Chain A
């Protein structure tokens, strides 16, 4: 009985020690793996790059730009993704370094709002003006009543008919 009591704690202690060892080993084994982020794919990089423009190659989105500068920028995006930065953080990083001009769309603040507001406002204003002009040029056709028939006792008509009749008889 006594021996059993002694043995049990000993085996439990060994079991616990072994468990702790395994846990520690697991932690040591998996720690580097979890800290190392996977390399982002080209698609992941290009998903962000297509919203950016390199100032050197105007009007060419970063994801299709063939220059060395753009390749370096894409690598920069890859590095930032590996650091765990979000898409917005990466955009902010590029804006901080290179200015708003790298963005495909101007940020919506200050005078930039005019870019978004002016075109639709001008379009609507133009449509309104066209509408007014067209409405002004349209005149509904007025119903013009036919003049009343001349009265039967018009002496001029009587004379005319008589003259016609006379000429017809003379012609026959």
Chain B
């Protein structure tokens, strides 16, 4: 009986101290939390049509600050591009042409978000394609993170109610493709999708 008690006491003293177990458990939880949040961010899928569009502020190359919250009630076309992106060049002229078509009416806004680019090359690109709608750098990739883009070009169209109405990965093939979507939204057709 005495031997049993002694053995149990020895076993207890061999276990880790409580503070060490609490510390180990805390570290493990912290590590798993980091892994979870890292995976959640990296594995997050694309935005879905109909969800509220992420709000952002864009400082343009001209120094203007455009806040999409101030554009509520308008159709906002957000185009992600880069000067090093060849497919972006394919749609640049069509986007500008579409912008000029809607610019006077004032109910449609085009915003260009320059993704991971150097400013000199970006300005040269805008000049080359004579792009006149507001364009600005995506500082720290904050806007592309919000939209969780997978590459460039990608285009999102936000409806007057602030929800996402359309998403497109890859370039527009023609101005008609842009017009079809935007005109559909202007006529109240909210069934647009990617």
The residues of A with any CB-CB pair to B shorter than 8 Å are 54-56, 67-69, 72-73, 75-76, 79, 96-99, 101, 111, 114, 118, 121-122, 125, 128-129, 132, 135-136
Contact = CB atoms under 8 A, between A and B. Distances in A.
Contacts of A69: 82, 84, 116-117
A99 B140 contact: yes
B141 A55 contact: yes
A43 to B, nearest CB: 21
B141 A72 contact: no
Given A55-B141, A96-B139, A125 B23 contact: yes
Contacts of A125: 20, 23-24, 27
Given A114-B34, A125-B23, A132-B14, A98 B116 contact: yes
Nearest to B31: A118
B162 interface: no
A72 B14 contact: no
B38 to A, nearest CB: 11
B97 to A, nearest CB: 26
Interface string B1-30: 000000000000010100010011001001
Given A114-B30, A129-B16, A136-B14, A75 B24 contact: no
A68 B24 CA distance: 47
Contacts, number: 53
A72 B31 contact: no
B37 to A, nearest CB: 10
B140 A72 contact: no
A72 B84 contact: yes
The 4 closest A-B pairs by CB, nearest first: A99-B140, A68-B84, A69-B84, A76-B118
Interface residues of B, number: 22
Contacts of B140: 96-99
A4 B137 CA distance: 75
A72 B118 contact: yes
Contacts of A98: 116, 140-141
Nearest to A118: B31
Contact of B84 (A67, A79, A99, A128): A67
Contacts of B118: 72-73, 75-76
Nearest to B152: A56
20 contacts: A69-B84, A69-B116, A69-B117, A72-B84, A72-B118, A72-B121, A73-B118, A75-B118, A76-B120, A98-B116, A99-B140, A99-B142, A114-B34, A118-B34, A121-B27, A125-B23, A129-B16, A132-B14, A135-B14, A136-B14
Interface in B54-94: 82-84
Interface string B46-58: 0000000000000
Interface in B122-145: 137, 139-142
Nearest to A119: B31
A72 B24 contact: no
Contacts of B141: 55, 98-99, 101
Given A55-B116, A67-B84, A72-B121, 10 more contacts: A54-B116, A55-B141, A73-B118, A79-B120, A97-B139, A97-B140, A101-B141, A114-B34, A118-B31, A125-B27
